[in-house]
Chains A and B, each alone.
Chain A
Amino acid sequence: MAGSTPASLSADAPAAGVVQARKARSISPAIETWRRFRRHVLAVSGAIVLLIMVLGVLVGPSIWAVPINEIDFTAKLQGPSLKHPLGTDDLGQDLLARMMYGGKISLAVGFAAMMVALVVGVLVGAVAGMASGWVDAALMWLTDLFLALPTLPLLLLVIYLFRDSVKQVLGVEGGAFVLIVVVIGGLRWMPVARLVRAQFLSLREKEFVEAARALGASKVRQVVQHILPNALGPVIVVGTIDVATAIIFESTLSFLGLGFPSDVPTWGSMLRDAKDYLDIAPHWALFPGAAIFLTVLAINFIGDGLRDAFDPRRVL
């Protein structure tokens, strides 16, 4: 192109453009992804909201050091005020403190359940994708079977049957946490497994994996070094959305009175308690409800942004 000829005045400007275009093409995929993500306004707003939420529940309690269970009947069912920025519940307990405590539980459940779902899903998907044959068929049948299971009824059933014995082993709060995380994760791994398997099936035929195979790389090495990093994008997207789903499931369980024990404040259980006072203290229901909604919405927008960012074919 213009590079090989002596630079003349007229060729200067376009040549600079070409150099720039080349530079844009050679930057790493991670930076490219970040560049695309940054342009997604809603996703960036989601990330900021989520960051504020996480900081709020982690750092908040040390700034707003009000106990979550200080009962004060003289101040019950009050709306927002300086003393209680988010108001109080029917026992006069401070809602802000309880919301921060509940938020920590919700977010922790969300992330932990996502990790469980990812680990199980990647494992099942990778084994099915590498094994092929009857192992693949059997695993995929199992995956489809689990996909057809009604999640919430099953979640309720398992928690109903196991909550007492788990409680004995791990304590009241810890037991509920482990049980909820394992069960939500255990019922959410299927999309990840399908995705990973599909990625494996297409990627393992690609040239660079074949090259690795020809060079004598072991199966595990092929998976870890060459296939998994390429399947990562879609898995991250599904994982992100799984956090949101898990938060909704945990809140739903608490709302139905089947999640954490009733004296532990979570966003869902606060809504459950508040629903009988909607007429006189709507703030009690609105704050935790809005918190769940905002968190879930923020995470879903992040997931959307990531999906777009990981999909380089998309043109604006």
Chain B
Amino acid sequence: MSRQYVIRRMLIAIPSLLGISVILFTILAMAPGDPFEELATNPAIPPEVRQALRTKFGLDDPVWQRYLHWLSAMVQGDWGFSFQSRMDVDTLILQRLPVTLIVIGASQILAISVAIPVGVLAAIRPYSVFDQVASTFAMIGFSLPTFFTGLVLILIFSIQLDWLPFVYRADIHATGWAFYWEHLKQSIMPVVVLGLAQAGTLVRFMRSSVLDVIRLDYVTTARSKGIGERKVIVKHVVRNALIPVVTLVFLQLPAVFGGAIVTEQIFRVPGIGSLLIAAILANDTPVVMGVTFVIACLVVLFNLIADILYGWLDPRISFR
């Protein structure tokens, strides 16, 4: 893979980021209501002061100027102040982000390690009993809303069996192994909920991708070499079938962030998802904007990684 390819993909990501920022700003600008509405109804503040404030914050400037203003503030990390949490929005988000990323990362690893073997096995024996069972379970996983899976798991493992805690605690008073054990225990359910939903989708992707690849000519060529079916599948089918799946995994990420928001809310995981919901319920606009912007940026970033991985997996791409 050439370095130019990586640089080119990075340059392509910039307009996407700008596009997303335009969409976000448009939504914000079109939204009714005015940050100074409260001041307007407050008789203690004279209209001149209000006008001065409006001018100072640039609310009467033309739209494009306000956009550039807003964009430069966002880029510089000046995301405003959360009145709810009494701290800067960027600090707040940075505090919450690692938990979310860990939960999402762990759930993706779980999903991939379950889905790839299952999808491959289902596809190499299409319409077999294993395939039918796997496909049905994949469909169930794909159709289960995360919030329902979460509640069912809580019902079984926390309430009935009392094995796992259903509230995620950031302040665990334990040291050494016990500390990690507690963390692991409380992470199991959120990770499983998010991972299973994702695994259902991935099994379906992987199965159809393998089915597409397995009937291609080069697989017959590989078989004609006498290298054995297992090697044919692993080296010549799975390797090639993974190429579109990698893209799809990353294209799924917006949905995964959606799932993470719900999961964090159910298990009260202190990540950016539960932060977003709390901020919306508390009318904390700077935090809402900040979190949405961060998630959008992360999605663009992961798409970039997907592109680069794609170029690495498929030598035809990076030469173009």
Q: Could you tell me the dominant secondary structure of chain B's interface residues?
A: helix
CB-CB nearest in chain B for A244: B143
Do A147 and B251 form a contact, CB below 8 Å, given A162-B31, A164-B33, A271-B147?
yes
Report the Cα distance A282→B160, complex, angstroms: 11
Which residues in B have their C-beta under 8 angstroms from that of A36? none
Alpha-carbon distance between A309 and B137 when the two chains are bound, in angstroms: 21
Q: Which of A42, A162, A289, A301 lies at the interface centre, i.e. has the most chain B CB atoms within 10 A of its CB?
A: A289
A217 at the interface (CB under 8 A from B): no
Asked if B281 is an interface residue, CB under 8 A from chain A, the answer is yes
- Among A147, A256, A296, max chain B CB count under 10 A is at A256
- Find chain B residues with CB under 8 A from A268 CB: 147
Q: Which residues in window 155-186 of A have CB below 8 A to B?
A: 156-158, 160-162, 164-165
Contact residues in A for B106 (Cβ distance below 8 Å): none
Interface string of B237-280 (1 = CB under 8 A from A): 00000000000000101110110011001100000000011001
Asked, given contacts A252-B147, A256-B262, whether A145 binds B142 with beta carbons under 8 Å apart, the answer is no
Give the distance in Å from the alpha carbon of A63 to the alpha carbon of B232 in the complex: 61
How far is A156 from B253 in the complex, measured between Cα atoms in Å? Answer: 17
Report B-chain residues with C-beta under 8 Å of the C-beta of A149: 20, 23, 254, 296, 299
User: What B residues does A292 contact at CB under 8 A?
Assistant: 145, 148
Binds A, one of B75-83, B89-97, B287-295: B287-295
Complex contact A297–B145 (CB within 8 A): no
Contact of A145 among B16, B127, B148, B276 (CB under 8 A): B16
Point out the residues of chain B lying under 8 angstroms from A42, CB to CB: 136, 139
* A contact residues around B27 at 8 Å (CB): 154, 157-158, 161
Is A150's CB under 8 angstroms from B127's CB?
Answer: no
Bound CA span A293–B145, Å: 7
Of B66-74, B149-157, B172-180, B221-229, which stretch is located at the interface? B149-157
Task: Mark B172-190 against chain A: 1 for CB-CB distance below 8 A, else 0.
Answer: 0000000000000000000
Bound: A156/B261 CA distance, A? 11
- Of all chain A residues, the one with the shortest Cβ separation from B279 is A160
Taking CB atoms, residues of chain A closer than 8 Å to B151 are 271, 274-275, 278, 285, 289
Q: Does A199 contact B (CB under 8 A)?
A: no
* Most chain A CB inside 10 Å of its own CB: which residue of B146, B155, B258: B258
CA distance A165 to B31 in the complex (A): 9
Q: Which residues of B contact A144 (CB under 8 A)?
A: 16
Please tell me if the beta carbons of A153 and B154 are within 8 angstroms of each other in the complex: no
The answer to whether A150 touches B147, judged by C-beta atoms less than 8 angstroms apart, is no
- CB < 8 Å neighbour of B139 from A150, A256, A258, A304: A304
Chief secondary structure at chain A's binding surface: helix
Interface size on B, residues (CB 8 A): 50
Contacts of A88 in B (CB 8 A): none
Q: Would you call B16 and A316 a contact (CB within 8 A)? A: no
Closest A residue to B289 by beta carbon equals A157
Min CB distance A182 to B, Å, is 13
Q: With both chains docked as a complex, state the minimum distance between the C-beta of A246 and any C-beta of chain B, in angstroms.
A: 12
Q: Contact at B277–A162, with CB atoms within 8 Å?
A: no
Near B by CB (< 8 A), chain A positions 268-296 give 268, 271, 274-275, 278-279, 282, 285-286, 289-290, 292-293, 296
Contact A297 B261 (CB under 8 A): no
A161: B residues at CB distance < 8 A = 27-28, 31-33
* B144 interface contact, C-beta 8 A: yes
> Could you tell me the distance in whole angstroms from the C-beta of A178 to the nearest C-beta in chain B?
15
Residue contact B148 to A271, C-beta cutoff 8 Å: yes
For window 184-219 of A, CB contacts with B under 8 Å fall at none
B254 touches A151 (CB 8 A): yes
With both beta carbons as reference points, the residue of chain B lying nearest to A285 in the complex is identified as B151
Q: How far is the CA of A147 from the CA of B127 in the complex (A)?
A: 32
A148-B303, A161-B28, A271-B151 are known contacts. Are A153 and B276 too (CB-CB below 8 A)? yes
Tell me if B140 is interfacial: C-beta within 8 Å of chain A.
yes
In Å, the complex CA distance between A309 and B28 comes to 44
Question: Would you call A145 and B23 a contact (CB within 8 A)?
Answer: yes
* B47 within 8 A of partner (CB): no
**Which residues of the other chain, A, contact B154 by a CB distance below 8 angstroms?**
278
Which residues of A lie under 8 Å from residue B58 when comparing CB positions? none
A152 touching B148, Cβ below 8 Å: no
* A300-B23 in contact (CB<8A): no
A312 in contact (CB, < 8 A): no
How many whole Å from B216's CB to the nearest CB in chain A? 15
> Is the CB of B102 closer than 8 A to any CB of chain A?
no
Show 13 A/B contacts (Cβ-Cβ < 8 Å), sorted by A.
A150-B254, A153-B257, A154-B292, A252-B146, A257-B277, A257-B281, A258-B277, A271-B148, A271-B151, A293-B144, A297-B140, A300-B142, A304-B139
Nearest 10 CB-CB pairings of A with B: A152-B258, A161-B31, A289-B148, A165-B32, A297-B143, A150-B254, A296-B143, A145-B19, A150-B295, A255-B147
